[in-house]
Amino acid sequence: MESINQIQDQIIEDFSMFEDWNDKYEYIIESGKALKPLDEQYKNEENIIKGCQSKVWLIAYMKDDNLYFEADSDAIITKGIISLLVRVYSGHKPKEIYENDLYFINNIGLKEHLSPNRANGLISMVKQMKMYAFSYDQVK
């Protein structure tokens, strides 16, 4: 299994192949389309990430001492963004997740190319994933 940083480095490398942001947005959208749809039973208020302009649902569960995430969104760009975060964090130890420095976002220039509302939503997504990780780490 690749480390969180190896996955981030792979995403950075993937993004470096594109010259302009239209192509990068297309990559983000395609990432979202590849995300396994979240079962409808989880699309409820309890699983909505607060602070996102569009609806983003996130669930987390432990399996073999690793934390896994599933997510979905009603907006294509947002779904693509959460799919990248799921790709980076899913399948790792909770402590690795909440202690990790998520550098790929700044490295690919994503935050600067999002509206202020979407940038706040991105921060909320990362915060929620790290809170899940911290909570699961405390329970074990």
Cα of first residue to Cα of last residue in the chain, in angstroms, is 22
For residue 133, give the nearest of 74, 73, 85 by alpha carbon. Answer: 85
* Confidence band of 52 (pLDDT split at 50, 70, 90): confident
Say what the pLDDT of residue 115 is: 86
52, 86, 97, 133: the catalytic one is: 52
Element (H, E) at 87: helix 76-89
For residue 81, give the nearest of 119, 48, 46 by alpha carbon. Answer: 119
Q: What is the mean pLDDT of residues 36-48?
A: 95
Q: What is the pTM of this model?
A: 0.96
- Compute the distance between CA of residue 70 and CA of residue 118 in angstroms, rounded to an integer: 20
Q: Is 127 a catalytic residue?
A: no
- Compute the distance between CA of residue 80 and CA of residue 66 in angstroms, rounded to an integer: 23
* Confidence band of 36 (pLDDT split at 50, 70, 90): very high
Structure tokens at 50: 């607060």
Q: Class for domain 4-139, per CATH?
A: alpha beta
**Phi first, then psi: what are they for 66, rounded to 5°?**
-115, 150
Q: Does the pLDDT at position 111 exceed 90?
A: no
* Confidence band of 10 (pLDDT split at 50, 70, 90): very high
* Domain range annotation of the chain: 4-139
Say what the pLDDT of residue 137 is: 92
As a whole number, the mean pLDDT across the chain is 95
Q: Does the pLDDT at position 140 exceed 80?
A: no
Strands, E assignment, the chain: 56-63, 66-73
- Compute the distance between CA of residue 129 and CA of residue 51 in angstroms, rounded to an integer: 13
Query: 12, 4 in Cβ contact below 8 A?
Result: no
- Compute the distance between CA of residue 91 and CA of residue 71 in angstroms, rounded to an integer: 14
